[in-house]
Amino acid sequence: MSIFWKSGRLAILASGAILGLAVNADARELRGWNLHVPDYPGSIALEEFADAVEAGTEGRFTGSVYHNGQLGDQRFAIEQFAFDGIDFAAFSGGSLGDFAPELNIVSMPYVFQSQDHMFKVLDGEVGERLSAALEPYNMVALAWYTGGARSFYTVKSQVATPEDLKGLKIRVPDADIFVATIEALGANATPLAFGEVYTSLQTGVIDGAENNAPSFESTRHYEVAKFYTLDEHMMVPEALVVSKTLWDSLSPEDQTAMRAAARASAETQRKLWADREATSTKILQDAGVTIVKLEDKA
Ligand code: BDP
């Protein structure tokens, strides 16, 4: 009898262990694309998203964020969604606009008066419509990060007016809205991948580039370009997207958990952004960058 019970308990334990293994083996690991360094606001927020998804789905999904563009440049990563090569990411509205042109609306120069204005637009019906426009590219936008405002930085001299941009080769991300905007302002737009900008500034392939202070600082471009003019020509939001294939496969409960994780992640990103803008600006100043705020935006 006791032997019977003993082996009975053993059998139960064994199947419990097998069950435990089965739960882990079933957990799906999601691959997250990220362009930036690990301590960047969006990077921390994406990690938080992955953790919250794991907690919210009781471990059915886990997530890994690949920083520094390890999974490829932005255009390539957007294309990967069609093949479910990447499951989640924070993409620039400007880069997404080359695929879904509706996204260009929120990247147009001077379209927003402030970040709050931008959040108000994106957190409502417009954000949902933009998400719908991404569906053909196998993406669902669950929340929106801020990308701050983009401004010009140059190697040789300060840009104070559109006249000063004439003849300058300015690097832009590889997407039409950036090329068109910078050309309209009078410069020669040179599309280049994010990771190629430093050496291009250094070797004189380009005369300058344009970005928000956190990106200007985190890439250390300020070591080469010492003139920064805050003209804030574009306030480009970033979409926290997940694969539509993945989204459609989720139970309603897991969808709710994932959406909540995305919203919380966006809140974190927006808060961290404000801090990082201040820290980055201080680093730029300490490194001797001349920062000029353009008062006359007209
Ligand atoms: C950063 C954006 C990123 C852009 C990058 C760039 O976060 O999405 O692709 O600028 O200039 O600020 O390429």
Q: In sequence order, what DSSP letters do the residues of 91-132 get, joined into one string?
A: EEHHHHTTTSGGGGGGGSTT--SSHHHHHHHHTSHHHHHHHH
Strands (E), 180-247: 188-191, 208-211, 227-234, 238-243
Per-residue model confidence (pLDDT) at position 86? 98
Residue 88 near ligand 1, beta carbon < 6 Å: no
155 pLDDT band (50/70/90 cuts)? very high
Tell me the mean pLDDT in the region 201-215: 98
Q: Which residue has the higher pLDDT, 24 or 49?
A: 49
Give residue 24's pLDDT.
Answer: 52
State the Cα–Cα distance between residues 246 and 147, nearest whole angstrom.
26
Q: Given phi > 0 = left and psi -120 to 50 = alpha, else beta, which region is 172?
A: beta
Task: Find the angle CA(75)-CA(77)-CA(83) to the nearest 5 degrees.
Answer: 120
pLDDT in tens, 70-100: 999 999 999 999 999 999 999 999 999 999 9
- Ligand 1 pocket residue status of 216, Cβ below 6 Å: no
Ligand 1 pocket member 74 (CB < 6 A): yes
The pLDDT assigned to 8 comes to 36
pLDDT for the residue 223: 98
The reply to whether ligand 1 has any atom less than 6 angstroms from the CB of 146 is no
Ligand 1 centre to CA of 92 (Å) is: 7
**Three-state helix/strand/coil letters over 55-78:** HHCCCCEEEEEECCCCCCCHHHHH
Which of 151, 236, 273 to mutate to test ligand 1, by most ligand atoms within 8 A of the CB atom?
236
Does residue 35 have its Cβ closer than 6 Å to ligand 1? Answer: yes
Model pLDDT, residue 15: 38
- Does residue 258 have a pLDDT over 70? yes
Predicted local distance difference test score (pLDDT) of residue 153: 98
- Closest atom of ligand 1 relative to the 172 alpha carbon: 11
Tens digits of residue pLDDT in 166-198:
999 999 999 999 999 999 999 999 999 999 999
Ligand 1 centroid distance, CA of 211 (Å): 7
> Across-strand partners of 291?
228
- CA 80, distance to chain mean position in Å, is 15
pLDDT of residue 22: 41
**197 alpha carbon to ligand 1 midpoint, in Å?**
11
Residues in the chain: 298
Average pLDDT value over all residues in the chain: 92
**Ligand 1 within 6 A of CB of 237:** no
Q: What pLDDT does residue 78 have?
A: 98
Segment 1-12, tens digit of pLDDT: 333 333 333 333
**CA 91 – CA 191 distance, rounded (Å):** 17
Which pLDDT value is given to residue 298?
A: 85
Q: Do 238 and 92 contact (CB within 8 A), yes or no?
A: yes
Mutate to test the pocket of ligand 1, among 33, 182, 211, 234 (most ligand atoms within 8 A of CB): 211
Q: What atom in ligand 1 is closest to the CA of residue 214?
A: 12
Mean pLDDT of the 107-121 span: 97
- Cα of 173 from ligand 1 centre, angstroms: 7
- Note the pTM of the prediction, 2 decimals: 0.91
Cβ neighbours, 10 Å, residue 188: 15
CA-nearest residue, atom 8 of ligand 1: 92
Per the CB < 8 A criterion, the answer to whether 233 and 177 are in contact is no
pLDDT per residue as tens digits for the range 2-47: 333 333 333 333 333 344 444 556 899 999 999 999 999 999 999 9
Q: Which atom of ligand 1 is nearest to the CA of 171?
A: 11
Question: Which residue from 76, 92, 206 has its CB within 8 A of the most atoms of ligand 1, so it is best to mutate?
Answer: 92
